[in-house]
Structure 1
Amino acid sequence: MSGTTPTFPAGPQQELVEALQELHRAAGLLSFRKVSTQIRKRDDRLSEASHESVRSALKGIRMPRWETVHDIVVVLAGLCSPPRDEESETARFLPLWRATREGESGALKSFQELLNGGWGGEDGKWTPELVMGTMLNPFSAIQIHPSLAAPHEPLISEDDWVRAVQMQIEEQGAEHVLRLLLHMLKGDYVGAEEGAPYGYRDADREAMEAYEAFRYGCAEILRRLRAEPNLLAESIRAMRADETMDRDDRAEMLENESDLSLMREVMIVTPDTWDDVSEEAHHMIFGYLIKQISPVGRIGLPDAERFRITWRIPEPPAA
């Protein structure tokens, strides 16, 4: 039998053989017979690998079965100095072996393997899974609409979603479904006009929207106060004269006005002193100047398009 080691063109078979030979060297280049003996001593072995089977695998003479590769790797990993983790090494070799049978697709981890072992790359090197994950992630291709990050109750399970997409791909074709998915992720989805997926709302989102409306309203108040020094006094008079004002809102206004220290803060407010007064004063001024502020556009639009302000004193037309 010839002792010549065959040479392979670059590809999966060469990568597997080189990885096995590296592991063999790290374990001290034990004889093929000793490796075979160590395999036969293990109760968890998958094969009855003879010394000739070990030699053929390590020399790359013929492609071994996975059971043989598994047992060689497990034995050699434990004989390295320091010992290598058997599970990690077998997990590393399985894609290499699969690639010799299935090509590039065989080298990629299955979905369950990704769940169990992650994407890899902890050593700073790009794995095939990292490349695949980057390419498949829509974030890499488009600006995903911010409203799609809103918390919401799923309408269907993940498994049902996968089955539904598979069925659409079978009926409509992969390109149609993928382009439609990207289109929806950019913001044109069912329920988009309500500002959240399928119009779903929750308390956290509503509280955030109220805060964003208040912040925008305050910015607009400051803009008008800079241009209209008498706006606050005129708005107070308009609010007190408003016969359509809700009874509870009027009662709250009168209660606030009975707090003399709060009223002093309100009456001295200018754009320059805005940050020096309390949040209670900001809310009171907001109520004096703004009769209503309503969301009219979806999340992600500029504030001026997203909210509509009804002023107690209409804004004068631009010159």
Structure 2
Amino acid sequence: MAASNSTPQPTGSHRELVEALQELHRAAGRSSFRKVSTLIRSRDDQLSDASHETVRSAVNGIRVPRWETVHDIVVVLAGLCSPPRDEESETARFLPLWRAIGEGESGALKSFQELVNSGWGGEDGKWTPEQVMGVVINPFSAIEIHPSLAVPHEPLMSEDDWVRIMARQIEEQGVEHTLRVLLHMLKGDYVGAEEGAPYGYGNPDREAINAQAAFRYGCQEILRRLGREPNLLAESIRAMRADETMDRDERAEMLENESDLSLMREVMIVTPETWDEVSEGAHHMIFGYLIKQIGPVGPFGLPDAERFGIVWRIPEIPAA
């Protein structure tokens, strides 16, 4: 029996690309491969120097072409169609087909910027992979979003900052935890819900928000230093009392607090282990003893160490 000389047929994603190229080739009047090659080389914006054999190989599925080759073939064939097809929309249609060959289903999807530039597709009445993805990831498909979350408001942060914060949250807490918390909030249990409006909607007290965040971070750092510097509190108290630059009202407030003997007893027994056992007033006194200044406050999204610069009354010695 004579050996077969037939060329292996493309399969999978490669086959889808070839079928799309052949459809475009038919719409262009089955122009000769030599003509397509000549027109490619005559363009000033060509990405390749595709020969007629390269064009034939790509259209017939003999081998997987480079993207530059596919781009130039598509641009030329789109111009030969009657009526001509839009070059940009055709190359945008072919790029996911080509990417899918090497990247699988994820490569077939539009990138975020492609989605912004060209939309979800589906103008021909057929569902696109992007439309399916859009339905699946839209929280509206899974829950009934609380109506109070749709009121106009002034955002607390930029979209880019929000994305960075969410990426950090996912990295630290995991994907499932972050997504379940997000869905939980969208259903109406969000910070500020008890007041009837989402936290940050309207006119938030940004200064108070930043002050609370700075205090939490400062206390965290105080516990870290107290854990490895047992004499830090006593030394900081002496440094504060010797600080001639300290604001008069701040010093008067500190002296008034020191007259409360029960409060001072709490302060003097503080260790990282007893921190949660003493009052918030003791926390504030210790904060004032150890930290001379914290700030200025950096933008949302930055790590706390970059958002809040601490000036200690006793400078920290870098660890060896």
Q: Which residue of 1 aligns with 2:10?
A: 8
User: Contact (CA 8 Å) 1:40, 1:49: kept in 2 or not?
Assistant: yes
Offset at residue 176 of structure 1 (A): 0.5
Q: Say if 2:68 is the partner of 1:42.
A: no
> Aligned AA for 1:122?
E
Alignment of 1:191-206 (within 5 A): 191-198=192-199, 200-201=201-202
Q: How many residues align?
A: 200
Offset at residue 29 of structure 1 (A): 1.1
> Aligned AA for 1:8?
P
Q: Which residue of 1 aligns with 2:299?
A: none
**Distance in 2 between the 1:156 and 1:102 partners?**
35
**Equivalent position SS for 2:199:** helix
**Distance in 2 between the 1:3 and 1:67 partners?**
30
TM-score by length of 1: 0.61
User: Contact (CA 8 Å) 1:143, 1:186: kept in 2 or not?
Assistant: yes
Q: Which residue of 1 aligns with 2:56?
A: 55
In our comparison, the structure showing a higher alpha carbon Rg is 1
**Distance in 1 between the 2:76 and 2:103 partners?**
26
User: Contact (CA 8 Å) 2:145, 2:186: kept in 1 or not?
Assistant: yes
- Post-superposition Cα deviations, 1:255-293, rounded to whole Å, max 9, x if no partner, equal xxxxxxxxxxxxxxxxxxxxxxxxxxxxxxxxxxxxxxx
RMSD: 1.4
**Equivalent position SS for 1:197:** coil
**Equivalent position SS for 1:112:** helix
User: Contact (CA 8 Å) 2:10, 2:62: kept in 1 or not?
Assistant: no
Q: Say if 2:89 is the partner of 1:98.
A: no
Identity of aligned residues (%): 81
Offset at residue 199 of structure 1 (A): 5.9
**Equivalent position SS for 1:159:** helix
Q: Which ranges of structure 2 fall in alignment gaps of 5 or more residues?
A: 204-320
**Distance in 1 between the 2:201 and 2:32 partners?**
67
**Equivalent position SS for 2:23:** helix
**Distance in 1 between the 2:5 and 2:174 partners?**
53
Q: Say if 2:41 is the partner of 1:33.
A: no
- Post-superposition Cα deviations, 1:215-257, rounded to whole Å, max 9, x if no partner, equal xxxxxxxxxxxxxxxxxxxxxxxxxxxxxxxxxxxxxxxxxxx
- Post-superposition Cα deviations, 1:116-141, rounded to whole Å, max 9, x if no partner, equal 11111111110000000000100000
Q: Which residue of 1 aligns with 2:120?
A: 119
**Equivalent position SS for 1:198:** coil
- Post-superposition Cα deviations, 1:125-166, rounded to whole Å, max 9, x if no partner, equal 100000000001000000000110111111111000000000
> Aligned AA for 2:171?
E
**Distance in 1 between the 2:201 and 2:33 partners?**
65
> Aligned AA for 1:60?
G
**Distance in 1 between the 2:7 and 2:24 partners?**
17
**Distance in 2 between the 1:175 and 1:162 partners?**
16
Q: Which ranges of structure 1 fall in alignment gaps of 5 or more residues?
A: 203-319
Q: Which residue of 1 aligns with 2:86?
A: 85
Query: Stretches of 4+ moved more than 2 A in 1?
Result: 2-6, 199-202
